Amino acid sequence: MKHVFKKGTNATAPTLLMLHGTGGNEHDLLSIASMIDEEANVLSVRGNVLENGVPRFFKRLAMGVLDQEDLALRTKELHDYIKEASEEYGFDRENVVAVGYSNGANIAANLVMTEKNSLAGAILYHPMIPNQDAKIPELTGLPVFIGAGVNDQMVPYTESEGLKAMLLEHGAEVDMHVEPYGHQLTGSEVEASKIWYNRNFKQTN
């Protein structure tokens, strides 16, 4: 998978897996990674699917209607790639935190919901429920941050709330941050996710 890897300066920090939104690329979220943890490894991946010439992580049949067969295939592909990258770059496969926006958040959510122990945590900006019928593994203690906008026209706020409920039901520890805006990723949302990240992943002396 096309990607950028940046070696971090703190060996105990998680590796941040950055997953862009529709039409983005592997460079889009690098500044967000730096805001969250400038000391962490960063693995930023480009989606392997093109929709009208722009990258995505999986196909959709229509706006808001995901191609479940392709979603399953691409989620497994991403899961396998994280392992390959950990071997290539020498980071801890068990200490990866996904940071996804929109389409990237959806594949990260599906990774959590279908691949047991695939992530140490996840920051999901404006996700929807990727798969209503997922056989979700035990997620006890898994930290998840969800950012949502009450006026989001792309992903109804109720979708993010529904995802939170599904993850909580299987034991995840979910924090949800709500903005009075739309689908855009705001500075205050990123700041809230950084505070959440520091609380869950920064070692204190």
Active site residues: 102, 152, 183
Contact 84, 90 (CB under 8 A): no
CA distance 32 to 36: 6
Burial class (CB in 10 A: 0-12, 13-18, 19+), 31: exposed
Determine phi and psi for 68, rounding to 5 degrees.
-65, -35
CA distance 103 to 126: 9
- For 53, left (φ over 0), alpha (ψ -120 to 50), or beta? left
Contact 124, 100 (CB under 8 A): yes
CA distance 19 to 100: 4
